[in-house]
């Protein structure tokens, strides 16, 4: 699989994402449902702690990718939902810490929402990955 970033402007790269990517040569695509801060039984974790919720949501995303034989390096699109966008952005260094070592900056959208599916959840991340 080859990825070619498309960035008519370069401001988004300093925030950790490309405006777009052309992906060619991919054989498999994985669409990952929104991952949140829940344990293996689906019980919400880390109430009122955005940083811990982002960390566990990313752990859960990586677990799903691993189950499909993929890594964060294969992610080509992210959708991020937060009940407090400012708090999420204050902790977005976690995204860079996870994706940076893989050398990828998948296009993403961050949306503020009034609530997520389960009470207490503040952060959700969905992804598309390709190999």
Q: Which of 11-20, 54-63, 95-104 has the lowest mean pLDDT?
A: 11-20
**With contact defined as beta carbons under 8 Å apart, do 13 and 21 qualify?**
no
pLDDT the model gives residue 103 = 95
Q: What is the CATH number of domain 2-130?
A: 3.30.1330.40
Has residue 66 got a pLDDT over 90?
Answer: yes
Find the mean pLDDT for residues 85-112: 97
Has residue 96 got a pLDDT over 90?
Answer: yes
Per cent of the chain over pLDDT 70 is 100
Confidence of residue 15 (pLDDT cuts 50, 70, 90): confident
Euclidean distance between CA atoms 70 and 73, whole angstroms: 8
Find the mean pLDDT for residues 55-59: 98
Has residue 42 got a pLDDT over 90?
Answer: yes
Has residue 14 got a pLDDT over 90?
Answer: no
Cβ neighbours for 23, distance < 8 A, ≥ 6 positions apart: 1, 2, 3, 76, 130
Has residue 47 got a pLDDT over 90?
Answer: yes
Has residue 130 got a pLDDT over 90?
Answer: yes
Find the mean pLDDT for residues 95-121: 96
pLDDT the model gives residue 68 = 97
User: Residue 125 is encoded by which pair of tokens?
Assistant: 């991340």
Where does residue 99 rank: exposed (0-12), middle (13-18), buried (19+ CB within 10 A)? buried
75: nearest Cα among 47, 35, 114, 40: 35
Where does residue 125 rank: exposed (0-12), middle (13-18), buried (19+ CB within 10 A)? buried
């Amino acid at each position: 699989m080859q990825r070619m970033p498309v960035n008519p402007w370069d401001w988004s790269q300093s925030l950790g994402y490309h405006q777009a990517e052309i992906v060619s040569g991919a054989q498999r695509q994985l669409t990952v449902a929104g991952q949140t801060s829940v344990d293996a039984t689906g019980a919400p974790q880390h109430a009122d702690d955005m940083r811990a919720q982002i960390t566990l949501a990313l752990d859960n995303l990586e677990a799903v990718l691993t189950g499909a034989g993929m890594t964060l390096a294969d992610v080509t699109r992210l959708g991020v939902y937060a009940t407090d966008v400012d708090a999420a952005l204050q902790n977005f260094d976690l995204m860079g810490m996870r994706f940076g070592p893989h050398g990828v900056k998948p296009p993403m959208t961050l949306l503020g929402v009034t609530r997520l599916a389960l009470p207490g959840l503040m952060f959700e991340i969905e992804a598309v990955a390709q190999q």
